[in-house]
Amino acid sequence: MDDACRVASRIGIPFYVLNYQDFFQRTVIDYFCGAYLNGRTPNPCVECNRVVKFGRLLKLADALDADYLATGHYARVCQDRRTGRYVLKKGIDAEKDQSYFLYPLTQEQLSRALFPLGEKTKEETRELARSFGLDVCDKPASQDICFLGNGGYRRFLAERFPESLCPGRITDTHGQVLGQHRGIAFYTVGQRKRLGIGGGEPLYVLALDRGTRTVVVGGREELQKSQILVKRVNWIAFGEPPDRMEVGVRIRYRQHELGATVRARDGGSAVVAFTSPQAAAAPGQSAVFYDGDVVVGGGIIDQ
């Protein structure tokens, strides 16, 4: 906050401090913890963009009679002259592209979004800040989820939700008990390390059963899936999606795009069929669909 205040003073713009602590707790942190407690792997940055940055902050923009909301995301937005729809695109800097986290934005939100860094690389941004005499030009980039601190999500959950430390069984797909775990919230689909099962071939988490508090594990070949069901899909590129389309899909941030066919279904869901089976599509994470640089849409992996 102090850094932002100094930058605002240096370039001569008003600076406001908004206390969203309680709102952030209810909408982002509670969602994050609840997902893990239910055996899912959440993406809090997506939810923060949806409800805080482009939800609550846009309401503030209205109160200030501001036409646009500018953020530091490495992404781009433009209007398709043929359809009139606003289109979300990847940032120019492939290493810093953050379009994956912005797929839930509506047409109204995109029409008022400005991403001035989307046309620049990270180094060009630093050079620009340096030329303005801003002492944040060499500030280290943030890497992890902002509210976790140094302990990671496991410590965060254990401190705030002791009930997450509820042990249960680790079994194979045939129900044979292989060991004990200390709480399904500490595991995610695709996880290999810290399973506490020694010897034999490498094992991966295949599924989490909240009802029986069971962690199901198996070999890598059992982790491979040909298709996934995605819910709460937001289609950016068009109002009514075609029945079938060929796209590139990211099922994790910083993952290369996977070839797939997406079939839209009723109720805001879609089935993604991969060109070749893929591992570790964790329920709760986001699947985002791309056509080149364009974000076609995306949603939450359900199963």
Backbone angles phi, psi at 73, to 5 degrees: -65, 140
What is the average pLDDT score of the chain? 90
Across the range 69-81, mean pLDDT stands at 94
Q: Is it true that 2-143 and 224-301 share their CATH fold? A: no
Q: Tell me the C-alpha distance between 237 and 80, whole Å.
A: 9
- Partnered with residue 301 across adjacent β-strands are 230
Q: Please report where in the chains the tokens 């050079």 appear, as a residue.
A: 127
Identify the pLDDT of residue 166.
86
Q: By three-state DSSP, how is residue 165 classified?
A: coil
Nearest Cα neighbor of 99 from 296, 302, 301 is 296
Inter-residue contact 268 to 276 (CB < 8 Å): no
Nearest Cα neighbor of 251 from 103, 93, 147, 88 is 103
Pairing of strands 177-181, 168-171: antiparallel
Identify the pLDDT of residue 151.
73
Query: Between 253 and 246, whose confidence is greater?
Result: 246
Q: By three-state DSSP, how is residue 163 classified?
A: helix
Active site residue 48: yes
Identify the pLDDT of residue 199.
65
Query: Angle, nearest 10°, between helix axes 152-160 and 30-37?
Result: 90
Does the pLDDT value for residue 71 go beyond 70?
yes
Q: By three-state DSSP, how is residue 169 classified?
A: strand
CA–centroid distance for 300 within its chain? 9
Across the range 274-282, mean pLDDT stands at 86
Catalytic residue among 5, 33, 146, 166: 146
Inter-residue contact 29 to 147 (CB < 8 Å): yes
Rounded to the nearest 5 percent, the helix, strand and coil shares of the chain are: 30, 30, 45
Going from N- to C-terminal start, the domains of the chain cover 2-143, 165-222, 224-301
pLDDT digits (tens, 9 = 90+) for 32-66: 988 888 888 899 999 999 999 999 999 999 999 99
Identify the pLDDT of residue 240.
86
pTM of the model: 0.90
2-143 maps to CATH 3.40.980.10:
no
Catalytic residue among 45, 48, 78, 137: 48
Q: Could you say which of 3.90.1010.10, 2.40.160.50, 1.20.1050.10, 2.40.30.10 is the CATH number of the domain covering 224-301?
A: 2.40.30.10
165-222 maps to CATH 2.30.30.280:
yes
pLDDT digits (tens, 9 = 90+) for 167-225: 899 999 999 999 888 888 888 888 888 787 876 788 899 988 888 889 999 888 888 88
Residue type, 21: Q
pLDDT digits (tens, 9 = 90+) for 89-133: 999 999 899 999 999 999 999 999 999 999 999 999 999 999 999
Nearest Cα neighbor of 177 from 185, 187, 167, 191 is 167
pLDDT digits (tens, 9 = 90+) for 122-171: 999 999 999 999 989 998 877 678 888 777 888 888 888 887 788 899 99
Identify the pLDDT of residue 62.
92
Active site residue 166: no
